[in-house]
A and B are shown apart, each in its own frame.
Chain A
Amino acid sequence: MSGPGKVPESAQAREARLKAGLEAVFQAELSRAVTVSDLVVTSAGARRGNVLFTATAPRGEGQRYCVTYLPTLDIELLPIPQEAALFRLAEAQGVPVPHVHFATEDPQWVGGPLFVSDCVAGETVPRRVLRKVAAEGTGEAIAAQLGSAFAALHSIDPTLAPPALARPERTPVEDALARTDQQLRELLQPSPIFSYAQRWLETHAPRAGDGLTIVHGDVRNGNVIIDEQGLAAVLDWEVAKVGDPLEDLAWTCLRCWRFGEDDKEVGGFGPRAPFVAAYEAGGGHFDPERFHWWKVLGTYRWGLGLAGQAAAHLEGRFSNIVMAMSGRRVGELEYDLLSLLKP
């Protein structure tokens, strides 16, 4: 285990430790003796690891799995066993998610909590996803599949949500406004456009909605697996919460997740109509005014987030060239905000 002050271990040593840990945890959790091989790191984020691997029983055939784990105990947003419970809840309701085999908080296997799920085949890298979708003509189908997935997720009784899921303190709208107001005050330099947006959001805040649902919070290209049939799985549930279902729909439809396919409002995949039709066919209620409000909020929130990344870089909290350039992407979000708020 590499802790503060220690020399980081090599990639080879880390892979060997992960392999041994996975073989041991298969034995402990599933009473299965397996050999682990063919590890592929799919996201080398600073915090979470996602690694695909093959587990092979003696004289058996190898099967591909995915392990999601934290290398240490102290950086969980949502405890991993609860995230795994959410996967199971979503799967039972018909949301496409990888099937979870087991989850554990025991740090002895890989240094922190982990869960093991099926490895779902398909593409996740945004620009490759969009090339694949264009080649296979699945864009409109994916827009509809996303609508159906949201309908299924939002139909779950929110009282069944894992207890660690964040719940609104006041209403989702009021909480969001309080948070953005705080971030607006913390900007390194005043932004007239963000100030305009904050004021607009406050004066146009929607009334209480149809009720609270489980909200994934980050469904977008990059957090989905796309195969030949379209949407194969929704990933990365660690910012899930209980909130306003329209917030979920709107976030997926922000321009910043279209990767240049600007006229395809639903994630760069397809237009709004099949998305909304599928959502309503699945029992969801679509309110265009509320959806618009959450799109403005989401655009603003992501702009504030990028400004925050630049601040983290400049203050030396998390410095690198990508974080620095985030500061120079804020202008894109300012332009999108003004377009959405055209008088």
Chain B
Amino acid sequence: MQDRPTAVELLDTLATYLEEEIGPELEGPLVYRTRVALNLLSVVRRELSDEEALPREALRLAALLDTPVPEGSPRVALEALNARLAERLRRGGDAAFDAAAWPVLMAGAREKLAVLRPGYDGYDSAGERPGGAS
């Protein structure tokens, strides 16, 4: 257990430093890159704030694949499940499995967006398909 500031608090400190002390000194392409850097910090911050994301996704994928969650850390387990799922979807030929996979994939995509870009999933392109509405 580390002392405070916590990792998230340190990132906040770095963001404030970039925004309030470095930002006003910059011009040109560095302004854009610093905005990217601040976005990077907020992504990492949100990722660190949700410690249950990996085990949660591993459980969803294991259920879809009808397999136990592999041994090892949540990251290792999830990588193994992801590889299996990707391989199976790439092979295809099982319409029922594809249909069952879609909502699981969508749940994972939405969770990723909650870290990467909150609100991005407020728009649904399904209405643009031939035949229209979702």
Contact = CB atoms under 8 A, between A and B. Distances in A.
A190 B86 contact: yes
Interface string B77-102: 00100110111011110000011011
Contacts of A295: 128
B9 interface: no
A257 to B, nearest CB: 13
Contact of B40 (A262, A265, A325): A325
Contacts, number: 110
Contacts of A195: 85-87, 89-90
B56 interface: no
A263 B123 contact: yes
A331 B36 contact: no
A265 B36 contact: no
A17 interface: no
B116 A329 contact: yes
A255 to B, nearest CB: 6
Contacts of B99: 343
Nearest to A291: B130
A242 B105 CA distance: 35
B121 A335 contact: yes
B125 A255 contact: yes
B82 A331 contact: no
A192 B82 contact: yes
B116 A199 contact: no
Contact of A335 (B101, B113, B129): B113
Interface residues of A, number: 42
B89 A196 contact: yes
A288 interface: yes
A31 interface: no
Interface in B4-37: 29, 32-33, 36-37
A268 to B, nearest CB: 12
Nearest to B64: A192
Question: Which of B29, B120, B128 has its CB near the most chain A CB atoms (within 10 A)?
Answer: B128
B123 A321 contact: no
Interface string A261-294: 0110100000010000000000000001100100
Given A190-B86, A192-B82, A340 B113 contact: no
B134 interface: yes
A190 B128 contact: no
A341 B108 CA distance: 15
A196 B98 contact: yes
Given A190-B83, A190-B85, A329-B117, 18 more contacts: A189-B79, A192-B89, A192-B105, A196-B89, A202-B92, A203-B92, A253-B128, A292-B129, A322-B32, A322-B36, A325-B40, A334-B109, A335-B112, A338-B102, A339-B126, A340-B125, A342-B134, A343-B98
- What are the 7 A-B residue pairs with the smallest beta carbon separation, nearest first? A190-B86, A339-B125, A331-B112, A195-B90, A262-B123, A199-B92, A195-B86
13 contacts: A44-B29, A196-B89, A196-B102, A199-B89, A199-B98, A255-B125, A265-B128, A288-B130, A292-B130, A321-B33, A335-B121, A342-B102, A343-B99
Interface of A: 44, 184, 189-196, 198-199, 202-203, 253, 255, 262-263, 265, 272, 288-289, 292, 295, 320-322, 324-325, 328-329, 331-332, 334-336, 338-343
